[in-house]
Structure 1
Amino acid sequence: MSAEEKDQASRSDNAPVPPAYRALFEPFRLKHLVLKNRIMSTSHAPAYAEGGMPTERYQKYHEEKAKGGLALSMFGGASAIAPDSPPSFGQLYVGSDDVIPYFQEFADRLHRHDTALMCQLSHVGRRTHANSGGWLPAISASHLKEPAHGSFPKAMERSDFRRVADAYAAAALRCKKGGLDGCELLIAGHLIGQFWSPLMNQRNDEYGGSLENRLRFGFEILGRIRDVVGSDFIVGIRFTADEKLEGGIDIEEGIEIARLHQQSGLIDFLNVNAGSNWTNAGVAETVPGMAFPSPTHIAALKRVRAAVTMPIFHAARVTDFATANAMIKDGDADMIGMTRAHIADPHLVRKYREGREAEIRPCVGASYCIDRIYRGGDALCIHNVATGRESFIPQVIRPTDGPVRRVVIVGGGPGGMEAARISAERGHKVTLLDAGATLGGQVLLASEVSWRRDLLGITRWLADRLTTLSVDIRSNFYAEAEDVTALDPDVVIIATGGIPNMELVNGGELAVSSWDLLSRAVQPAPRVLVYDDNGSHPGPVVAEYLANAGSAVELVSPDPEIGVRIGTTNAIVHRRNLYRSGVTLTPDRRVITVERSANGLGVQLRNEYTGEIETRQVDQVVIECGTLPNEDLYLELQEDSTNLGRFDLEAFAKGKLVPAQDNPKGRYQLFRIGDAVACRDIHAAMYDAMRVCKDL
C-alpha cells in the first residue's frame, strides 16, 4: 500500500459521514469482529482463479474494494471442498492445504485496509458436470437429474455422509489457518440444500421425509465444522428461504429453518435469499438483474428477520445507498451486500464519504458480469473495464505529467464518451463531435423495452462526468474530415460506431433494420418477421418491442436457439417475455430471399440442416445482422496521421498503446475504437477507449 493510498484511506475513513445514509455507516459487531460499516461484497466466483487458487488477479480485484472502504469482502463463490465437487465456472478449490498460503496472503492484503475477509464453501452435489476434473459421479440426496447442468447424480450412501462432513470441516479449518475472519456455507441449490428441498430429496431414511430429517445432514456438517474450528471462528450459511416452486421450500418452512439454525448455536449469521438457482427459469431470479425490482426478495427477508434475532445478511440487486440505508434503518438486515455495485465501482464507499457521490459509477443491472461466467468467461463489468484488470488498468485515472494535448473524438456512443472522459481526466483539452441530438449511440436503442431502461445509466453517468470535466460537446454535428482537422488536433479518435448490416439477405433493401423501428423512424406493421443473424440482444429486443406495439411477430434465426450469444440470466428474461408476448420463435432457419408479393412481402427460409425451403407472407421484414463499421471518416483522415491509424496489437492486448511511426509528416495520431472497427459490444468499445486514452 503506497503512502498516497494510506493517506487517502485515512482521510476517507475519518471523513464525517454525510447524514443521508447514516445508518449504513454505523459499525456492526459480528461475534468478536467489529465491521466498520454495514456494506459488504458477497461471495461469488469471478473465474479469476489459477489452478483453483486465489492468485494475484483474484486478490487485487478484492483489494480494490477494500481500498474503496467496504467493511467485509466475501469471496470464493461455491468454493469446492472435495474432488467430487468439480468446478463448473472457475471456482476455488479448498480441498487441499495448498490453498492456505494464498489465503494468508489474501487476508494480509485486505486486513491492511481494515476490511474483513471470508470464504464461501460448498459441495455442489448434483449442480455440476461429472465429465470434468477426476470424472467422478455427482452425488445428491436422490437420483434426480439437475435441470440447469444436466447431471444425473448418485444418491449418497452411508460412507459418503461422514466423508463429506469431514471435507467441509477440513476446508473450514484451512480458512481459519489462512487468517480469514470466517466462512460461509452455500446451501441454496447445492448439496446441503438438495437435502433440504422436498423437490430434490426423495429419501425414505433418516435423511428424508420430515423437515427434521431433511436438515439432519446439514447440521451434521455444521457440527463437524465446529469440532475443528472451535467457537471463536465465524461460520454462517447462505440459504433460500422460499424456493418459489410448488412443492418446494415455502416461506413458512424457510422461517422454521432459520429458527432451527438459530436454536442450534452452530452458526453466527444467516444470509437470506429466495428463488431456485437449480432450474433453468429460476437462475435469473436468484441473481436478479435489471428486469427485477431493487431490492429483490425483500418480502422473504422481512419474514425471516421478524422470526429470528441473530445477524442477517442480504444481497439481491441492492445497487444504491438509499436502498441499502433504508434496509438497515428499517431493521430488515444487519449487513447489505452491494456486490455488483462494487464491480461497477469498487470505490463507491470512499467516494460517498468524501462527498463525491455524483462520481459513483452505477451498476445498471446488465448482468454482463454473471452472464460471462455462465458462458465460460471471466466476470467483467459492462462499463467499468478496469474491474478484474487491476494489475494493468487503473480504477482511478491520474492526470498526465506530460504536455496537455488537443484530443478530438468523433462519435458520442459509450466508446466515444469514455474516451472523452478518460482524456479529460488526464487533463487534456477534449472536443467531442456527435451527429445525434442526444449522446448515447446504440444504448439509446437498446433501452427501448422497459425492462432494459436502466442501460441508460451508462451514458447518463458518462454525460454527467463530461459536463463536470468541461468537455466541449458538439451535438447534431455530422463531422467531415475538414471539421476535424480545423480543430488542429494532436490525437483523433474515431468512435463513429457502425451502420446496420442489410447485405446478408438477398432483397435486404426491401427490409428495415431494428434501428429503424427502435428509433421510431418506421412504424410497426401488423405481420412482422424479424430475422436475427446477430444472436445477441438486438433481435429479441426489437421482437419484444414489436409485440408490445401489437404486431404479430415471428423471430427467426439460423442459430440453434434464439439469442445464442446472450448469457444465461438475460436469455431467460428475453425468452420469458417473448413467450408471454406471443412471439413465435423459429431457430435453425436462414432467410435467403425477401421479395415483393401481392400480399406484402414474401420471405424464403432455408432449414440449416435439411435444406428444406419454407415461405412466409408478412407485411414487414426486420433484419438484425449486426453492423458494418462506419469507417469513411477514419479512412479519409488516415493519410495525414503520423501512425496511419496503426498501433502494436500485442501491446494493446496487454493494455498498452504503442502507436506506429509510419508518417513523419503526419499532423496527428489517429485511432478508431468500438464498432467503428468491427461489430462488438459496449464493453469492447469502452475497453478500446481505455487502452487508447489512459496513458495519453
Structure 2
Amino acid sequence: MSKDPLLQPYQLKHLTLRNRIMTTSHEPAYPEDGMPKARYAAYHAERAKAGVALTMTAGSAAVSKDSPPVFNNILAYKDEVVPWIRSLTDQVHEHGAAVMIQLTHLGRRTGWNKGDWLPSVSSSRHREPAHRAFPKLAEDWDIARIISDFADAAERMKDGGMDGIELQVYGHLMDQFWSPLTNDLDGPYGGQTLESRMKFPMDVLQAVRDRVGEKFIVGLRYTADEAQKGGITPQEGLEISKRLAGSGMVDFLNVIRGRIHTDPAMTDVIPVQGMKSAPHLDFAGEVKKATGMPTFHAARIPDVATARHAVAAGLLDMVGMTRAHMADPHVVKKIIEGREDEIRPCVGATYCLDRIYQAGDALCIHNAATGRELSMPHEIAPAKASKKIVIVGAGPAGLEAARVAAERGHHVTVFEAAAEPGGQVRLTARNPRRAEMIGIIDWRMAQCAARDVEFRFSTWAEAADVTALNPDVVIVATGGLPNTELFETRGEASHVVSAWDIISGDVKPAANVLIYDESGDHPGLMAAEIAANSGARVEVMTPDRTFAPDIMAMNLVPYMRALQDKDVTFTVTRRLLEVARSGNKLTASIGTDYSGHVYEAGYDQVVLNYGTLPLDDLYFDLKEQSSNRGEIEQGAIIAGRPQKILCNPQGQFQLFRIGDAVSARNTHAAVYDALRLMKDI
C-alpha cells in the first residue's frame, strides 16, 4: 500500500473512491444534439483509464427548457439523455472510476435567443453582464416547475447509472436566489433573510432527495464567499455550509470562492497563468473544519505537490485537478508509476475555457489529443520500422514532431537557427505573467532528451545540410517572421517596427506609441503592456469592432488590469493606411472599413502586429527532391491516416511543413499539425 496521501482511498457514503484525485465538473462543449455521445464518453473514459478516482461530468447539465445551453451543455431535461448517460457511465466504470454529473438551471446566466427562445428567468431583475439577457423575475409557478425539473433530471441521472449528482450553486439560478446581490423577490423566497434566500436551493435539494432516495449521492458545488461588498461574506458562507451539513440531505460540499458574473470575477475564481496557484485552498479547508463534511475543491491546483499538500494537511478530502487533466489525462498513472517528472504540465494558458466561453469546444493549448480521444493518441505507439527523421525548427511544432517521432522509435535530428529552443513561445515567456508558457518547451525538450533526439542549435540549415543526413522524412517547422505589410498594400509599411521588436527588447518604446493590431492576438497587447510600463502614452488601434478578439475572455483580464491604470486608449474600427515621417515624428494616415473617412494623427512610434509570414525558403529548396513534393493528402490528415502520396518516385524523402511555416496560426495548431502527421510515420 502506497503511503502517498494522494493515493489513499476515500469512502464517500457507500462509494469507495480509489484515490484522492478528481476532475471537477466542467463542460468541454463536446455534446452532440445536447447528448454526451461517443466523443464525450471517450474524453472521460481516458481519464478513468489512467487512474482518476472520480470524474465529474458536465458544467452543467441543464434541467429546464428555459435554461438553454450557452456552452453546448448536456440537456438533462430530455428523456433521451438516459441511454447516453448509461453508455458514458459504463465506459468510466469499466476502468474503475466513479462518475457523477452536475445539474443546474442557468437562470440569468444564459440568453433568451437560444434553444426554444424562452425568456431567461431569475430571482433578479438585472442581467448578468457576461451573458447580457434581461431575465424575467421568477413567479411562484416558475419556482415550482423548476424544482420539479431538478427532481426529474436527478432521476434520469440515477437511471443512467451515475454514482451521484452535484447541484450547481454558484453563479447559476440557485446561487442567484441565495445571494443578497441577486435576489429581488418578495415573499417566502425573497432576499430578506438567509433562511428565505436559501429556501429555493433547499426545496430543490429536498425534491431531489425525495426522488432519488437516501442511498444516491447528492452534493453541492457552491460559493461560500462571494468576495464582493454586499454579497455572501465568509462568515455567512460558513453558516450556509453548516446548514447544508445539518440538513442531512447533502453528502459532500464542493467549495467555490468568488463570483462569475463578469470575466474579471470569473478569472479570480478560476485563475489563469501569472496568478496565484490554489488561492482559495485554505478557505476550503476552513469549510471542512467548520462542517466536518466531505470537502472537494478545485481552483488552479495544477501540480502534484500542491494537490498532495491539500490532502496531507487535511484541507480537502478530494482534490480537483481539472485543467491539469486536460493537459495530461495520465496524471494519476504517472504518480503511481513514479513518473511525476513526465507529467505534461498545465501552463495555465486557459485556452480550454476561453474557447468554451467563445462558443468553441475545449482544447488544451499543448495537448492536441485532449477532446480528440477518438482519433488522436495520448500514448504514442512504436513504429514497425525505424526511420531517419530530420526536423528543421525547434519551436512548438518542431519539438512536438521530434517528441512523437522519437516515441515512435525513429532516429531524430533537429536543426535550430537560434541558440535555444522555443520559437515564439520563448518570446511569449518573456512576459513575467506568461512565464509558465515555457513549460510547453521544457517538457518536450525533456521528452526528447530521454529518447536521444539530436539537436543542432545555432545552425541555419540549408538544403545540403538536410540531405547530407540521408533522411527518410523531412519536417520543415521553421515558423515565420513578423509581417510588416499593411492590409493589401503589396509592400512593407515604412517606418514601423513589429510587436516582436518591442517584446524582445530589440527596440525600446518611444514616448507616444501607436500599437496597430491587425491580428488581435497576444503580441499586440504584450507590446502595449511593455510600452505602457515604460511610461509611454499608448494607443491600441484595430480595424475590427472589438480589440484583441483572439485573446478571449479570461486571458484578457490580466492585460486590462495591467493597462487600465496607465495612459492607454483603445480605438476600434480604424484602419492604418500609411505611415510617413515628418521630421522626428511619424504621421499616420488612418481610415475605416465602414466609410471613406480618413484622418491623420501623429506618433513617435508605430508598432505593427499583423501575424507572421512563413519562413519557407528551405521548404521550397527541398520540394523537388522529395517524393511527395511537399503535398499533404488532406483526407488522410483529417482522418488520421498515414500520408502515402508519391507524385515524384525519384524523390529521396517525404517532405512536410507544419505550424507557422505554413501560415500564421497559434500554438495549439502547431502542436496538432505535428501530432496528427507524425503519429503514423
Secondary structure class of the residue paired with 1:580:
coil
Note the C-alpha offset of 1:35: 0.7
CA distance in 1, matches of 2:33, 2:587: 55
Q: 1:400 aligns with which of 357, 367, 383?
A: 383
Q: What are the within-5 Å matches in structure 2 for residues 444-455 of structure 1?
A: 444-455=426-437
- Larger displacement relative to structure 2 (422-431 or 503-512): 503-512
Question: Match of 1:680?
Answer: 665
Does residue 545 (structure 1) correspond to residue 530 (structure 2)? The answer is yes
Question: Match of 1:178?
Answer: 160
- Larger displacement relative to structure 2 (540-549 or 457-466): 540-549
Q: What are the within-5 Å matches in structure 2 for residues 593-604 of structure 1?
A: 593-604=578-589
Question: Match of 2:281?
Answer: 298
Note the C-alpha offset of 1:610: 4.4
Q: 1:74 aligns with which of 51, 56, 78?
A: 56
Deviations, residues 233-277 of structure 1 (Å, cap 9, x unaligned) = 110011111222221112121111111111111111111111211
Note the C-alpha offset of 1:432: 0.3
Amino acid at match of 2:240: I
CA distance in 2, matches of 1:191, 1:110: 29
Note the C-alpha offset of 1:574: 2.2
Note the C-alpha offset of 1:142: 2.7
CA distance in 1, matches of 2:642, 2:267: 38
Question: Match of 1:556?
Answer: 541
Note the C-alpha offset of 1:299: 4.3
Does residue 495 (structure 1) correspond to residue 477 (structure 2)? The answer is yes
Note the C-alpha offset of 1:526: 2.3
Note the C-alpha offset of 1:280: 3.6
CA distance in 1, matches of 2:202, 2:567: 47
Residues 399, 445 of structure 2: 8 Å contact kept: yes
Secondary structure class of the residue paired with 1:408:
strand
Q: 1:244 aligns with which of 215, 227, 242?
A: 227
- Larger displacement relative to structure 2 (671-680 or 140-149): 140-149
CA distance in 1, matches of 2:565, 2:390: 46
Question: Match of 2:366?
Answer: 383
Q: 1:514 aligns with which of 499, 503, 506?
A: 499
Question: Match of 2:315?
Answer: 332
Residues 508, 623 of structure 1: 8 Å contact kept: no
Amino acid at match of 1:342: H
Question: Match of 1:578?
Answer: 563
CA distance in 1, matches of 2:355, 2:428: 19
Note the C-alpha offset of 1:286: 2.4
Residues 286, 315 of structure 2: 8 Å contact kept: no
Q: 2:616 aligns with which of 631, 656, 666?
A: 631
Note the C-alpha offset of 1:303: 3.1
CA distance in 1, matches of 2:376, 2:168: 32
Q: What are the within-5 Å matches in structure 2 for residues 61-210 of structure 1?
A: 61-208=43-190, 209-210=192-193
Deviations, residues 372-415 of structure 1 (Å, cap 9, x unaligned) = 111111111000001111111111001112x2110000011000
Secondary structure class of the residue paired with 1:121:
strand
Residues 122, 136 of structure 2: 8 Å contact kept: yes
Question: Match of 2:33?
Answer: 51
Secondary structure class of the residue paired with 2:80:
helix
Amino acid at match of 1:409: I
Question: Match of 1:587?
Answer: 572
Residues 183, 234 of structure 1: 8 Å contact kept: yes
CA distance in 2, matches of 1:560, 1:576: 21
Q: Count the aligned residue pairs.
A: 677
Q: Normalising by structure 2, what TM-score?
A: 0.97
CA distance in 1, matches of 2:109, 2:20: 31
Note the C-alpha offset of 1:543: 0.8
Percent of residue pairs bearing the same amino acid type = 48
Secondary structure class of the residue paired with 1:29:
strand
Note the C-alpha offset of 1:575: 2.3
Question: Match of 2:297?
Answer: 314
Residues 657, 691 of structure 1: 8 Å contact kept: no
Residues 102, 165 of structure 2: 8 Å contact kept: yes
Residues 518, 542 of structure 2: 8 Å contact kept: yes
Question: Match of 2:357?
Answer: 374
Residues 168, 221 of structure 2: 8 Å contact kept: yes
Residues 255, 296 of structure 2: 8 Å contact kept: yes
Amino acid at match of 1:38: R
Note the C-alpha offset of 1:132: 1.4
CA distance in 1, matches of 2:26, 2:647: 47
CA distance in 2, matches of 1:691, 1:573: 33
Amino acid at match of 1:416: G
Question: Match of 1:653?
Answer: 638
Amino acid at match of 1:673: I
Secondary structure class of the residue paired with 1:636:
helix
Distance 1:607 1:246, change over 3 A: farther
CA distance in 2, matches of 1:199, 1:595: 53
CA distance in 2, matches of 1:292, 1:305: 25
Secondary structure class of the residue paired with 1:165:
helix
Task: Give the gaps of 5 or more residues in structure 1.
Answer: 1-15
Question: Match of 1:535?
Answer: 520
Task: Give the gaps of 5 or more residues in structure 2.
Answer: none
CA distance in 2, matches of 1:675, 1:592: 26
Residues 449, 544 of structure 1: 8 Å contact kept: no
Secondary structure class of the residue paired with 1:150:
coil
Amino acid at match of 2:627: T
Q: Normalising by structure 1, what TM-score?
A: 0.95
Question: Match of 1:232?
Answer: 215
Does residue 257 (structure 1) correspond to residue 267 (structure 2)? The answer is no
CA distance in 1, matches of 2:128, 2:459: 55
Question: Match of 1:3?
Answer: none
Residues 646, 659 of structure 1: 8 Å contact kept: no
- Larger displacement relative to structure 2 (306-315 or 604-613): 604-613
- Larger displacement relative to structure 2 (533-542 or 283-292): 283-292
Residues 79, 93 of structure 1: 8 Å contact kept: yes
Note the C-alpha offset of 1:466: 1.1
Secondary structure class of the residue paired with 2:613:
strand
Note the C-alpha offset of 1:599: 3.6
CA distance in 1, matches of 2:633, 2:263: 43
Secondary structure class of the residue paired with 1:281:
helix
Note the C-alpha offset of 1:612: 3.1
Amino acid at match of 1:167: D
Residues 48, 54 of structure 1: 8 Å contact kept: yes
RMSD: 1.4
Residues 243, 250 of structure 1: 8 Å contact kept: yes
Secondary structure class of the residue paired with 2:535:
coil
Amino acid at match of 1:248: G
CA distance in 2, matches of 1:647, 1:561: 35
Secondary structure class of the residue paired with 2:75:
coil
Does residue 357 (structure 1) correspond to residue 340 (structure 2)? The answer is yes
Residues 272, 348 of structure 2: 8 Å contact kept: yes
Deviations, residues 48-83 of structure 1 (Å, cap 9, x unaligned) = 111111111100100100111110000011100111
CA distance in 2, matches of 1:139, 1:258: 26
Residues 84, 138 of structure 1: 8 Å contact kept: yes
Deviations, residues 514-560 of structure 1 (Å, cap 9, x unaligned) = 11122222222222211110011110111112222332221111111
CA distance in 2, matches of 1:362, 1:280: 25
Note the C-alpha offset of 1:154: 1.0
Does residue 425 (structure 1) correspond to residue 407 (structure 2)? The answer is yes
Secondary structure class of the residue paired with 1:219:
helix
Deviations, residues 200-258 of structure 1 (Å, cap 9, x unaligned) = 11122111111110000110000001111111011001111122222111212111111
Amino acid at match of 1:220: D
Deviations, residues 85-127 of structure 1 (Å, cap 9, x unaligned) = 1101110011122111122221211112110000000011111
Note the C-alpha offset of 1:330: 1.3
